[in-house]
Structure 1
Amino acid sequence: MDFPQSRNQSPSQLPTSSSKYHHPYFTSAEVEYLSEKQRGKFSATQDEKTRQTACGFLEAMGARIGFPRRTTATAQNLYHRFHLFFSRKDFQNYWARIFDVALGALYVSTKMHDTLKKPRELLAVSYAVRFPELAAKSKHPGGEVDLDTMDSQIIEADRQRLLAVERLILETICFNFTSRMPFPYVIKIGRALKVTKQLTKLAWRLAVDSHRTLLPIQYPPHTIALGSIYVACLLSSFEQLELPNQEGFQTSQKIVSLLGKRGNWEKKYHSQVEDLEDIAHTIIDILIQGAQSPSASTSPSTPSSPTPHPSRNMHIPPVASQLPTPFNADQLIRLKITMRETEHPPRVRHPLGSVDPSALYGKDGTLQVGRNNDGTVRFLFGPPGIAGP
């Protein structure tokens, strides 16, 4: 696998210093622009397939090691962010691109959440996930591959690639280790809206699924949480018998009616109805994929302990899950059609900072990362005009 090389410039042409800014969130237009730019000859469908394979691999890794949900979710976010800045053509081998970048993202995430594992430990588990036949031969009690039985040169080469990806990922986040998750907000907002425990649990699982998409790098966690609650109520009320109201709780129909139109809740929760509709469509899309392709299932079977089932016929074992509603793909598509009939026009989202970040993605490579010979580089925690955390 080849990584981006330094630009061909003479010493007199090299900049003495430059600044790179961390952008916590991107607009939909920015994500589309960057994704298309880095996708190269890959189609959007191939790009999505690669993304889901990487996310499934990270789910399996997190389940085997026992990482908390925040570690796995952050690793998925880092993987998504990485490929906004690095082209697919920078990585020659298809599988190496997925696993090396995903494993590097997981390694950085373990540092961010104080769940650190050594590179060799991660590699041992990754071999077991990728190559079940090796794990079957291993006598390790945890099902890991015994690295002492493998070629030491191969292991060292994989370790070096993991560390190389780690450096690139650290540059993409400008060494900003701040990571906020939507899961606590699901609980808090659910209580404020008087959502039942059953709906809150479903919303939690949908928030987990949201990290298989690009939503967390487009919206703050409290908006993701509110959107997950909105989707949970949609799924529980569309073409379903209206259940009797539980004392002290709001019905899903009432919550859909509240969040589906403008109101005081937008100011209270610092979110807008157009954003919830965008989140809803994206999450429902991934549920449709799961319904149409059970092997590419989405949310784990339980919020706290997803359990992968290895298969000798697959490189990546599917995460054990079921669609968290009784809906099939046709019903979910009908729900999307119904939503389109009443949804609001997309709102205009302005990039963060005083300067349009799109200008930083130009041919001059101002925001490029992973490049050598940039002189002194300052990594700042926020875009121009925005104070760091």
Structure 2
Amino acid sequence: MAARYHEALPAASNGDAAPRIGPHPGYISSSNQYASELKIRRMLKENGCDPAREDNYRLQGVQLIDTVRQHLNLPVRTFDTACTYFHKFRLNFRDAEYNYQDAALASLFVACKVEDTIKKSKDILAAAYNVKNPEKPAASDDKIFESPGKIIIGLERLILETIGFDFRTRYPQKLLVKVVRSILGPEQGKEFFNIAYAMSIDMYKTFVPIKRTTFSMVMALVELTARMTGHHLDKVKDFAAHRRQYHRPAVLETMLDILDLYVQYHKSTKVGTQFDLNRFMDIKIALNTELEKEFISRHMYYCSRCENDEPSPLTPGSVTSPTATSSSLPGDLSMRRTARGQDGTMRFVFDPEAAREEQDTVAQYYNEEYEEYEVEVEEPIPAPRNEHGEGGGGHSRHAQNQQREVFTRVKVETGTWS
């Protein structure tokens, strides 16, 4: 028979006093501005999202943000920020735990604060209501917005935790103006810019804004506009050839993501209705041919085997719920950041390297060392019992005579437990 005993090793040797360990400093979260296609797909898979329903909710949510933004006369940078927060929030939480319209309006509410175009939650709710019910408009101080206003404020906290209190965002429209003027000039590029600008709004109905840099997005918009209009493609390529930060695989992936939107949801976009569907399909075929010719992957940093691998099982602290979530390092889109239900405090660190260094330093004081003893004991055989549950006299005496001395063999093994 074997038994195990665990005894903690002393923290100090040679009679020294053990160092005092204070309270745990808490859990660290560090934001990540970008996400790969593989990470996005795995997060959607972990959330159990239906692909068709997910696309529908994403398109309707972005359309709602754009409509309310125009109704309130908010700048386009507020729209960009709101859509970025909306995408990140939906990747962290299941659709069944919230209403996508509430998430869209809450994202716009947070974006208004970040971009210094402050609007009250009731102002945004009233604008959304008046857009849907133009014949019966309601004022922002109406009592019907009290309960939805509390929901928006509650989602605001979750959005802030999702983005890790990192308010950096990208505005491709500002750079788009400069690039078009550099390529075509201020007068010749007006019509060209109008199409590219509308396409930049449609782009936020995809996950491109959380995958690519500003320059890659702008160059994809400019080249795709040139291919759709059939003008200035050579000038665009010449401009890209003289830019050191130009990365062709990133631009190709961005253009194909936008084309997938136009092909699959032709009527749900601004530019899709201006061109024939076959035009988009021909451009998509040409870009795919270039991918095969140059041996470029459709998605950057993509691994088909990694996508098929099952994600690691969730621990009790990593349940995908807005009120009970995990907090492992490094913090990025794949991490659920709410620290409720845990023993420590969630802290947000902007520098990932500093967060890792701090976690490694703290871990040294919370690793517990144990000595493991495995004891084998040989026990006497008990006397057999009869059918009435009583010990048999003769058999019991015979068994007692056959008993051997009990001995103990101790085997000591040393291990480290963390």
Give the alignment's TM-score, normalised by structure 1: 0.70
Which one of the candidate residues 144, 160, 167 is aligned to 1:177? 167
Give the aligned partner of residue 38 of structure 2. 29
Give the aligned partner of residue 255 of structure 1. 236
SS in structure 1 of the partner of residue 28 of structure 2: strand
SS in structure 2 of the partner of residue 212 of structure 1: coil
Which one of the candidate residues 109, 128, 146 is aligned to 2:139? 146
Which one of the candidate residues 275, 279, 284 is aligned to 1:336? 284
Which has the larger Rg?
Answer: 2
Q: 2: distance between equivalents of 1:279 and 1:370?
A: 32
Alpha-carbon distance, 1:257 to partner: 7.2
Give the aligned partner of residue 312 of structure 1. none
Alpha-carbon distance, 1:199 to partner: 2.3
Tell me which amino acid in the other structure corresponds to 2:341. N
Which one of the candidate residues 69, 80, 83 is aligned to 1:76? 83
Alignment of 1:1-389 (within 5 A): 17-38=26-47, 40=48, 42-91=49-98, 97-130=99-132, 132=133, 135-138=134-137, 145-146=138-139, 152=143, 154-194=144-184, 196-197=188-189, 198-237=191-230, 251-256=232-237, 259=240, 263-265=241-243, 267=244, 270-291=245-266, 294=267, 296=268, 298-299=269-270, 323=272, 325=274, 327-343=275-291, 344=294, 345-346=296-297, 348-349=300-301, 363=315, 365=326, 366=328, 367-374=335-342, 375-384=344-353
Alpha-carbon distance, 1:17 to partner: 0.7
Tell me which amino acid in the other structure corresponds to 1:275. A
CA separation of 1:385 and 1:361: change in aligned 2, threshold 3 A: farther
Contact 1:19 1:380 (C-alpha < 8 Å) held by counterparts: yes
CA separation of 1:284 and 1:31: change in aligned 2, threshold 3 A: same
Alpha-carbon distance, 1:224 to partner: 0.8
Give the alignment's TM-score, normalised by structure 2: 0.66
Dislocated runs of 4+, deviation >6 Å: 359-362
- CA deviations on 1:237-260 (whole Å, 9 max, x unpaired) are 2xxxxx6xxxxxxx224425775x
RMSD of aligned alpha carbons: 2.8
- CA deviations on 1:256-303 (whole Å, 9 max, x unpaired) are 5775xxx553x2xx2311111111111122223453xx3x2x23xxxx
Number of residue pairs aligned between Structure 1 and Structure 2: 302
Contact 1:55 1:76 (C-alpha < 8 Å) held by counterparts: yes
Contact 2:33 2:210 (C-alpha < 8 Å) held by counterparts: yes
CA separation of 1:199 and 1:252: change in aligned 2, threshold 3 A: farther
Per residue, is there more strand in 1 or in 2?
Answer: 2
SS in structure 2 of the partner of residue 339 of structure 1: helix
Alpha-carbon distance, 1:156 to partner: 2.2
Percent sequence identity over matched residues? 21
Unaligned runs of 5+ in 2: 1-22, 303-310, 319-325, 329-334, 357-418
Alpha-carbon distance, 1:323 to partner: 3.4
Alpha-carbon distance, 1:324 to partner: 6.9
